Chain A
Amino acid sequence: MREKIEEKLRAALGENIISVSEFKDQVIVEAKRDSIVEVCRLLKEDQELEFNFLSDICGADMLNFEDASSRKAYLAVEHDYHPEEVPTSERFMVIYQLTSLRNRLRVRVKVRVDGDNPVCPSLTSLYPAANWYERETFDMFGINFEGHPDMRRMYMPEEYDYHPLRKDFPLMGVPGSIPLPRK
């Protein structure tokens, strides 16, 4: 199945497909950010593939993913929060889990998003379900989805300043960032 997906994607989108690989029997497509809508449209509307069910969208902060020594620092329960010091190129990843109900197949599409300008095209025009998934990703990582009809936070309060699932955000939170109710 991987070959078929790769062939179709490469024929239609060429350079925009970075790689198509397989890990533990799961097909993973890596694509360029700006082509994500085209990639998903092709996967959805192709008669043979028909990935019509969007299972999930999630973000991931790949900050210093390769560097084992920095990893320990993020595990510390409390650390100082210096958002301006982190490197930003291709920092985030947005992951789309697509499902084909008819063919009983799954495929995962990944795009990389820059840290200093975290913007990604929205999939809401293709899959209405993307609405909340993208809001959640925005809430947790601060990735803005262009063309989203209602880009609000999903879980955190609207006036909250931080994006908690970023790796540089401390596990215990930033003291004083959420005002406690008066007694």
Chain B
Amino acid sequence: MANSSRDKDNVAQIVRALEDKDTSVALEDPLENYMVLNMGPQHPATHGVLRLLVKLDGETVVECIPELGYLHRGYEKIAEASTYMEFIPHTDRLDYISPIANNVAYALAVEKIAGVEAPPRAQYIRVIGAELARISSHLMAIGAMAMDVGAMTVFLWAFREREKLYDIFDLLTGVRFTTSYTRIGGVAQDLTDETKQAITKFIAEFPHHHSEIIKMLNKNRIFLDRVVGVGAIDAETAIGLSFSGANLRGCGVEHDIRIFSPYLVYDQLSFDVITEKEGDCFARYMVRMREMLESVKIVRQALEKIPQGPIKADLPKKVLPQKERVYEKMEELIHDFVIVNDGVNPDVGDVYVTTEGSKGELGFYIISDGSGHPWRMKIRSPSFCNLQALPYLVKGQMISDVVAIIGSIDPIMGEADK
């Protein structure tokens, strides 16, 4: 009975709307208007195990709730039970698209609290590694975003370039993917001439391939229709939501931790902070595209300026000795034994050290009780914070834009879920 009277009301409403030549009709019963759609956790466009609950009005997103935790491995708990050295391999698996950047961030945090400083050569190598990791990460972000909106070619091109980067990481660190490259007080291996040549070759060729992607996308009507003006956010909201990295710079906020509080040797290298004003998907895409060229610039300068010298700090009580010497020398053997078993014993206290990771502000907060294990380690993962803005970004957009927006904020679930 109630149903039929409501139907009548609806029909009357539709007729009235048609008479007014108004083509959109909003019905009052929410059951007839809204639909809840579950995206993920195994959805190809959510970049990992992100689950979204999306409430739809027709094709328009009314509300969106992200659900995290499908990749929660409890790294903060594991950190409390492992020594500072033992935790380095776990940092690879946070943002697994740019592992060296994570290694560097973690090593800097431990060095800060332990009072160790890596020698200049190691710092330059770290900068080179971190910037190559940024290029790799941005290529992945752009490739995946372009694929999500239908441009398969760019994805393949980006992966071709990333393959070259992985060859470089292989030469530099000995492995392609999970690098575990930094040590507390330095890096694991030196930058050889062969690696240097490979990097020089890559950065010489990369701008050409970069311009190919630009040519493919920047005037492509299909791509532009999917990203320009989609998922826009203004600077104030973005700051309130702790957006960081390329996403924040896409809203016109000139915030880059490499400039904000320079670490390593970034203050000796010249590069620009890239910003775009619009704050939409296209702006975020453009920031990433332009930042890759800045990274190339940084790597080129770093390769020119890199000094000769040791790659590990000369602090036997805190820094692992070179492996070759451990086999030959008594003292190195003892130090190696003590550091591996007992660990670096930093001062009692806490530090929060941030770096400009590939995704944004990557910070490690360490509370030390003076022993070899951190008492508490908090990973401030940029993807987690960037994802928090997702409900604001997708609100009022079309359902098909959700994938473009996820692609444009570039979340990595390994990092968001820790």
Residues of A bordering B, CB below 8 Å: 23-24, 26, 28, 52-56, 58, 60-61, 65, 68, 71, 74-75, 77, 95, 97, 101, 104, 106, 108, 127-129, 131-132, 136, 140, 153-157, 164-165, 169, 171
Contact = CB atoms under 8 A, between A and B. Distances in A.
A122 B21 CA distance: 49
Interface centre among B261, B352, B361 (most CB of A within 10 A): B352
Given A56-B363, A60-B378, A132-B384, 15 more contacts: A23-B349, A54-B242, A55-B242, A56-B380, A65-B375, A71-B369, A74-B80, A97-B365, A101-B253, A128-B241, A140-B76, A153-B69, A155-B69, A157-B69, A165-B376
Interface of B: 68-69, 72, 74, 76-78, 80-81, 112-113, 237, 239-242, 253, 255, 260-261, 349-352, 354, 361, 363, 365, 367, 369, 371, 373, 375-376, 378, 380, 384-385, 388, 417-418
A154 B68 contact: yes
29 contacts: A23-B351, A26-B352, A28-B350, A52-B239, A53-B239, A56-B363, A56-B378, A58-B380, A61-B376, A65-B375, A68-B369, A75-B80, A95-B378, A97-B352, A97-B363, A97-B365, A97-B380, A101-B239, A101-B260, A106-B261, A106-B352, A127-B242, A128-B241, A129-B240, A129-B388, A131-B388, A132-B388, A153-B69, A154-B69
B295 to A, nearest CB: 22
A24 B112 contact: yes
A28 B78 CA distance: 26
A60 B375 contact: yes
Q: A-B pairs with the 9 shortest C-beta distances?
A: A155-B69, A129-B242, A58-B378, A155-B72, A60-B376, A56-B380, A23-B349, A128-B240, A132-B388
A55 B380 contact: yes
Nearest to A140: B76
B275 to A, nearest CB: 13
A122 B22 CA distance: 45
A157 B80 CA distance: 22
B350 A156 contact: no
A101 B388 contact: no
A35 to B, nearest CB: 21
A135 B68 CA distance: 11
Contacts of B350: 23, 28, 95, 108
Nearest to A66: B369
Contacts of B72: 155-156
A75 B74 contact: no
Interface centre among A54, A56, A60, A136 (most CB of B within 10 A): A56
A158 to B, nearest CB: 10
B376 A24 contact: no
B331 to A, nearest CB: 28
A60 B369 CA distance: 12
A168 to B, nearest CB: 12
Contacts of B241: 128-129
Given A56-B380, A165-B76, A75 B81 contact: yes
Contacts of B371: 68, 71
